[in-house]
Structure 1
Amino acid sequence: MSILLKHIASQLKKLRTEKGWSLDQTAKETGISKAMLGQIEREESNPTVQTLWKIALGFHSSLSAFLPAEQQNPAVLKHQDEALSVKVLQAFDATLGYEILHITLKANSSHDSSIHEKGVIEDILPLNGSITIQTEDQHYVANTGESIRFHADQVHRYLNHSNHDVIFYNIIHYAK
C-alpha cells in the first residue's frame, strides 16, 4: 500500500503547487479538512474512495490521476471502512475525455458517490450480477450483459442487493 500512498501524496502536493493553493484553500475547494489533507500528504492516512473522489473533484481532476499508472499490476484503492474498491483499467485520457474503472461493491451494501461536475456521464456494466443505481429522480437496474448510462452530476448511489460481491466496469465520461 505504501507505493499507492506515496503516489496519492505526491499527486496531491503536485496539484496544490500547480494551483498555488494552501491547505486551507484546498480544504475549501475539496470539502476535506485541512488536517486530513495534511495527513494524506504526509502519507499518514489511507484516504477512502469517497475522500479521494472529493479531492479529485475539487481539483477538477479524474480519480485515476491519483492512482499509479502501472499497467502490469494496477493499484486497487480500497479502505476497510468502505464497501467499494476501485482499480483503474484505463487512466483518464484527455483527448477522449474518459477513464475506465473496475469496481467491486461488497455484498448487501451501497456506496454514495460524490456529485461530479456538470456534464459528466457514467456507464455501468456489471460483470457478475445485478447493480442498482439510484439518482435524485431515477432508479436503474442492470444485470450481467446489460448497461446503465446516467448523468453523474447529481447525487447518486450504487447498490448491491445480492449476497455476493458485484464487480462492474464504470466508464466515466468527463465534460469537455
Structure 2
Amino acid sequence: MKDFNFIIGKNLNSIRKQKNLSLDKVALLTGVSKAMLAQIERGNSNPTVTTLWKIATGLNVSFSYFMEEKSHEVTCVTHDNIKPIIEGDGKMRVYPLFPYDSKRRFEIFNIELEPGCSHQSPPHNDGIEEYIIVNKGEMEMIIGDDKYKLKYGDAIRYMANKAHCYKNISNTLASFQNIIYYFK
C-alpha cells in the first residue's frame, strides 16, 4: 500500500523549497497552521481533503500535486493498494487514481460517500473544470445555487471556481469518478 502521507509530505516540502517559502509564509498563504504543515511535511499527519485543497489553492498547484510520483510508461492502479484520503469522520474517502501530470493537465480520483454524507468544496482557482461520473448509488451535486440529482451512469461537468457540494442522497454507498482538468 502506498504511503501517501510520506509522498504528500515530501512534495509539500519540495514545492515550499522551490518557491523559497518558510512554513510561516505557507501558513499565511493557505490558512493551514504552521504546526499542521510541519506534521504533514514529516509524514506524521493524514491531511483531510479540505486541508489539501487549502494548501493547493494557496500554493497555486493542483490538488494531486502532493500525491505525484515518477511517471511510468504503463501504470496499473488497484483499489486495494491505494490508501484513501479520509474526510468527514470517514464518511468520505478519496482514492487518488492518477495524480496530476503537468503534460496531461488532469487528475482522476474515485470518491466514495457513505449514506447522508455531504462534502462542501470551496471554490477552486479559475481555469479548473470538474467532471463527475457516478459509478454507484445516487448523489446530488450543488453548484452555486443549482442542484443536480445524479444516479448510476450519469455525469456532470462544471467550472469549479464556485462553491460546490457532493451529497449522497441515498441509503447506500455512492461512488463516483472525479476528473479535474486544469486548462489554465
For residues 60 and 139 of structure 2, the distance between their equivalents in structure 1, rounded to whole angstroms, comes to: 27
CA displacement at 1:63 relative to structure 2:
2.0
How high is the TM-score relative to the length of structure 1? 0.90
C-alpha spacing 1:111/1:40, structure 2 compared with 1 (3 Å)? same
Alignment partner, residue 153 of structure 1: 161
CA displacement at 1:128 relative to structure 2:
0.9
Moved more, 12-21 or 67-76: 67-76
For residues 158 and 17 of structure 1, the distance between their equivalents in structure 2, rounded to whole angstroms, comes to: 34
**Which residue identity lines up with residue 60 of structure 2 in the other structure?**
H
CA displacement at 1:104 relative to structure 2:
0.6
1:41 aligns with 2:41: yes
Aligned length: 176
Alignment partner, residue 145 of structure 2: 137
Q: Unmatched 5+ residue regions in structure 1?
A: none
| Contact 2:2–2:83, Cα closer than 8 Å, also in 1 | no
| Contact 1:67–1:75, Cα closer than 8 Å, also in 2 | no
1:153-172 pair list within 5 angstroms: 153-172=161-180
| Contact 2:2–2:82, Cα closer than 8 Å, also in 1 | no
1:57 aligns with 2:57: yes
For residues 14 and 144 of structure 1, the distance between their equivalents in structure 2, rounded to whole angstroms, comes to: 39
Moved more, 2-11 or 97-106: 2-11
- The C-alpha deviation readout for 1:45-93, integer Å capped at 9, x for no partner, is 2211111121122222222222254744333222572532111222223
CA displacement at 1:171 relative to structure 2:
0.9
Alignment partner, residue 92 of structure 2: 84
Alignment partner, residue 72 of structure 2: none
- The C-alpha deviation readout for 1:7-64, integer Å capped at 9, x for no partner, is 1111111110001111111011111111211121223322111111211222222222
Alignment partner, residue 6 of structure 2: 6
For residues 160 and 49 of structure 2, the distance between their equivalents in structure 1, rounded to whole angstroms, comes to: 16
Alignment partner, residue 101 of structure 1: 109
How high is the TM-score relative to the length of structure 2? 0.86
Moved more, 71-80 or 128-137: 71-80
Alignment partner, residue 30 of structure 1: 30
For residues 58 and 99 of structure 1, the distance between their equivalents in structure 2, rounded to whole angstroms, comes to: 18
Q: CA RMSD in A?
A: 2.0
The percentage of counterpart residues that share the same residue type is: 39
**Which residue identity lines up with residue 14 of structure 1 in the other structure?**
S
For residues 119 and 141 of structure 1, the distance between their equivalents in structure 2, rounded to whole angstroms, comes to: 25
For residues 119 and 152 of structure 1, the distance between their equivalents in structure 2, rounded to whole angstroms, comes to: 8
| 2:136 partner SS | coil
| 2:171 partner SS | coil
- The C-alpha deviation readout for 1:118-176, integer Å capped at 9, x for no partner, is 12111111101212111222111211111111111011111001111111001111132
